[in-house]
Amino acid sequence: MAGIGPLSGYKVLDFTQFESGTVCTETLAWLGAEVWKVERPVKGELGRYSVEEPSVDAVGFVILNMNKESITCNLKDPEGLRLIRKLVEQVDVVVENMGPGSMDKLGLGYEDCKKLNEKIVYAQIKGFGTDGPYAEYPAFNPIAAAVGGMPAVTGQPGEMPVQSGLNIADSGAGYMCALSVIAALLQKEKQGIGQKIEVAMQDVVIGFGRSNWEPYYRTGKPPKRVGNGMPLEDVAPAGMYACKPYGENDYVHIYCSRHPGSKQFENLCNVIGRSDLIEDTRFKTPRSRYLYKDILNPIIEGWTREHTKQDAMDILCRADIPAGAVFDCDDITKDEYLRRRGTMVEIEHSKRGKLVIPGFAPRMSENHVEYRLSPELGSYSEKVFKEYAGLSDEDYEALKAKHII
């Protein structure tokens, strides 16, 4: 069932799994495209079930596959491939993030699909560029993050590189792929052409780290790891400060601008009751404050420890001092404002009950996302294969009995 939105009327054949590809196609579905998710009969996509719970959709699958329709087909069976090729002829977009070379081996690569549908928009997400030395290398989020430079600038000075707790490479590649698909559809409408889109997760992470080239060219060296400090320059205050009741996430991050003329440090001194620091020569500039950060930071933390992270954030921000409480999943899930805004949405799953999960981040005045639960395995197969592949009732039942669909 297609959604209502700017992509209404477009059909997407979805050969994605896990996160990067599914983020792309879910984004397209939230914007109104009709997304047919191709899964294995009985087993589903690799991320649908977990070893611990083999008979119920994993929460991760539910989060990443909303507003889609599921069709099942054995792509290794000639009859199954014949049906999929019929669908390729009638869709606008194909998206895949299978292992390197997998779609070509099936006869469903870009050139194969272009022969069936000359104006197809064919998007693929891989770990590395397909024209380079790493083309055949397998990749998941931490691998792409590593070769994209993220751990090199993450962690404590003098210690090993650290991965992020967020799937920046996966979700980032998915969003970039969705953006590219939409651009390709616009180009198709204007110029009447289809095209191939390749998104390499390594490339995406490199792009997210573009600000690192400022200190690289300024110093002639790769940026160092600065923990919670400011990566672009050694300035202070810039870091995490403990708050009551002193749990593992009871911190607030405070950063005062390094730009000349900023009054943020002055404001901070006044808020914490230490206006005397304003005239202290040790703390006159962002750089000098960094040199004496071991003196300055305990003074600031003496104040933050008297407040909760939420109160500290509110007090500081109202005084024009950039500060962010460290919100964890529990904080975010229970945030009433984020519920009202639609950042977090509540859904009802038949087996898992009520879930509150992240929704579509942007707010568009003329596009309201109507969230639908991730599909049951194969729930759209009958409609698609009969209506678009021309199967009779008898043929459909026969192929279903043989687990071809």
Laid out side by side, the sheet with 251-255 consists of 238-242, 251-255, 323-325
What contacts 382, CB < 8 A, 6 or more positions away? 396
Which of these is catalytic: 170, 203, 234, 250?
Answer: 170
* Encoded amino acid at 40, one letter: R
DSSP summary character for residue 308: -
Cα separation, 340 vs 282, whole angstroms: 46
Size of the chain in residues: 405
Alpha helices in 90-247 (DSSP H): 102-106, 110-116, 141-147, 168-191, 201-208, 213-219
Residue 294 annotated to the active site: no
8 A C-beta contact, residue 268 and residue 237: yes
8 A C-beta contact, residue 66 and residue 371: yes
Cα separation, 348 vs 259, whole angstroms: 48
Cα separation, 97 vs 103, whole angstroms: 9
Full DSSP string of 223-242: PPP-TTS-TTS--SSEEEEE
Cα separation, 149 vs 115, whole angstroms: 38
Laid out side by side, the sheet with 195-200 consists of 69-72, 34-39, 11-15, 93-96, 121-126, 195-200
Q: What residues act catalytically?
A: 170
